[in-house]
A and B are shown apart, each in its own frame.
Chain A
Amino acid sequence: MYEKDGERYFIVDGHIHFWDASPANQANKYGTGFIKCFYDYQQNLSPPEFKWSLEKFEKYSEDDLLHDIFEVGYADVAIFQPTYLTDFYTNGFNTTEQCAAVAEKHPGKFIVNGAFDPRDGEAGLEALEALVERYQLKGVKLYTAEWKGDSRGWRLDSPEAYLYLAKCRELGVRNVHIHKGPTIWPLNRDAFDVSDVDDAATDFPELNFIVEHLGLPRLEDFCWIATQEPNVYGGFAVAMPLMYTRPRYFAQIIGELCYWLDENRLLFGSDYAIWQPKWLVEQFVDFQIPDDLLSEYAPLTPDVKRKILGLNAARLYDLEVPAELDVLSVAEIAPARPAVGSEPVSPV
């Protein structure tokens, strides 16, 4: 819970990790390159006091995690988004089992999401079922650019992926977090393209599709899809730190998002340990659209911020929110609007 100027905020950090990227666990140069890339994001887009040494960043402790997320980070609940990367890290980067081991020690603090990879075929479907049963999963995190042997990624609208989405529907795993990455075969496709989410969201209306990083660097395609698919959401990981380095730019991004999607389908996430929720929550609550942009964008009221910082995620994950921290209007989610500006133009 965070409190400022008499306003109180229920905080759900919708995107955290507990990874092991230490040299001992790096399987090859790709594992080394991957964590270094994450590290540059932290170094480039964090206030100085929230920058770590590479050594700590590669492998931090459970105490660090609890301290940064809950003791100083204001989170009431945090959601583990596993990222397996078993081709890069011998024991995996951040698996469901590793997350669950921490979560089980701290009941009520964490939500553990699972993961699946449609390239695992029939055996993977059984493994998913076992994972869901064992950890009572309500969500999965998918990384479509994950390497697997000779393969460099997969699509959410493929027949193989649909088998898994149907399994999720059957098992009541409602929240599908999708993260796009840079490497994918075949090369004549854009790896960051989010269009595969479009068909999947249409064909699985019972599932919620949370596009992590707001589809960046394809924000326009993400907004385009989200206006037309009421079950598509945006996760703020990676985008929110821009309010520190480029506040005016961030104002435009959030202004556009509230215009295209409205504030009921946006979820806060720190992407810990890349960024830390403490400064993100503090700065976001203080953040306002600059005066000269208010003719184009709606102001960010405490209610809007409350929804983004926790209430929207609480709704997706059936979390109990103390009545005094809830916002009445959350209960009455506006129906999806007709696609704004959908005719006669598309993003490209």
Chain B
Amino acid sequence: MTTVQEVVRALAEVRDPELDEPLTTLGFVSAVRVTQVRVEVWLRLPTYFCAPNFAWLMVDGARAAVLALDGVQEADVRLADHFAADEINGAATLAHAFPGRSQGELTELRDVFARKAFVARQARLCEALLHAGRTPEEVSALRLSDLDPGPEVERCRTLRAELGIAASPRDPAFVLPDGRPLDGDGLRRWLRVARLVGLSIEGNAGICRGLLRTRYGLRDPEGAG
């Protein structure tokens, strides 16, 4: 039988599309129950009015991740305390949940936020290198294989693959969100915007975490806010 740990590990691969962080580290998974071949997952969000399209993507993503586990035949993923919970819970597709409410799928929306996430993560890597004394010219000349391995680099690689940006070891380490390479000057200008994208996501994530704690009376692991 599938274990709760296996389910949680699978859910750790599902991310909030806006924040690009796993549902598990954000505290969005409130309960998991495994009964033979059936898995129940409860999700909770920071506010009653969190955007329904992102809520749908998380529920749908969680369901797919759990169903992909060996031995799971049924995955019941339920959203709690949300204005659109009745619509989302139990619906097999977006069109079932919100009939006539979407012009097409959410692919483009997901793509926009994958790009933002990619830009923000690249900016963090880039700033760390500049702080360590590298020049923009040197940084712009780096190849992916020149970067020290780590979760941030790994995530960038995954996002590149999702976005159709070349990600072989010989490809430039830092590129524009459409895949074009940057020279030293371009890198300086890009970074000015890119770190703003990172700041926006970071701020949003901070507010989300704070509101979730307040809403559910959770302890603050960092002891602030």
Contacts and interface: CB of A to CB of B under 8 A. Distances in A.
B222 to A, nearest CB: 10
A136 interface: no
Given A242-B203, A245-B210, A245-B224, A186 B101 contact: yes
A40 interface: yes
B53 to A, nearest CB: 4
Contacts, number: 140
A210 B176 CA distance: 30
A253 B115 contact: no
A186 B196 CA distance: 27
Given A41-B211, A188-B103, A242-B203, A217 B49 contact: no
A79 B57 CA distance: 38
A155 to B, nearest CB: 13
Given A33-B83, A217-B203, A256 B176 contact: no
Contact of B176 (A189, A190, A191, A345): A345
B161 interface: no
Contacts of B215: 40
A159 to B, nearest CB: 18
B18 interface: yes
A107 interface: no
A140 to B, nearest CB: 23
Contact of B51 (A43, A192, A242): A192
Nearest to B47: A37
Nearest to B53: A187
A140 B183 CA distance: 45
B116 A347 contact: yes
Given A187-B101, A220-B193, A348 B186 contact: no
Contacts of A242: 203, 206
Contact of A216 (B51, B186, B203): B203
Interface in A16-72: 29-30, 33-34, 36-37, 40-41, 43-45
Contacts of A41: 211
A106 B110 CA distance: 50
Interface in B171-225: 176-177, 180, 186, 189-190, 192-194, 196-197, 199-204, 206-207, 210-211, 213-215, 224-225
A183 B116 contact: no
Contact of A34 (B18, B48, B50, B213): B48
Interface string A236-252: 00010010011001001
Contact of A188 (B47, B106, B190): B106
A250 B11 CA distance: 32
A188 B197 contact: no
Given A185-B101, A187-B52, A344-B176, A217 B193 contact: no
B214 A40 contact: yes
B118 to A, nearest CB: 9
B148 interface: no
B123 to A, nearest CB: 11
A217 to B, nearest CB: 4
A341 B189 contact: yes
A340 interface: yes
Contacts of A191: 51, 53
Contact of B203 (A34, A219, A346): A219
A348 B197 contact: yes
A224 B196 CA distance: 10
A218 interface: yes
Interface string A331-348: 000000000110111111
A345 B194 contact: yes
A187 B197 contact: no
A186 B203 contact: no
B225 A246 contact: yes
Interface string B112-139: 1001100100000000000000000000
A181 interface: yes
Contact of A346 (B50, B193, B202): B193
A168 interface: no
A183 B52 contact: yes
Q: Which of A37, A224, A239 has the most CB of B within 10 A?
A: A37
Given A36-B48, A347-B193, A245 B200 contact: no
A183 B82 CA distance: 12
15 contacts: A33-B49, A43-B214, A45-B210, A182-B47, A185-B102, A188-B103, A217-B200, A219-B196, A239-B203, A245-B210, A246-B225, A253-B203, A256-B199, A341-B189, A345-B177
Interface of B: 18, 46-53, 56, 83, 94, 98, 101-106, 108-109, 112, 115-116, 119, 176-177, 180, 186, 189-190, 192-194, 196-197, 199-204, 206-207, 210-211, 213-215, 224-225
Closest 3 CB pairs of A and B: A33-B48, A217-B204, A245-B225
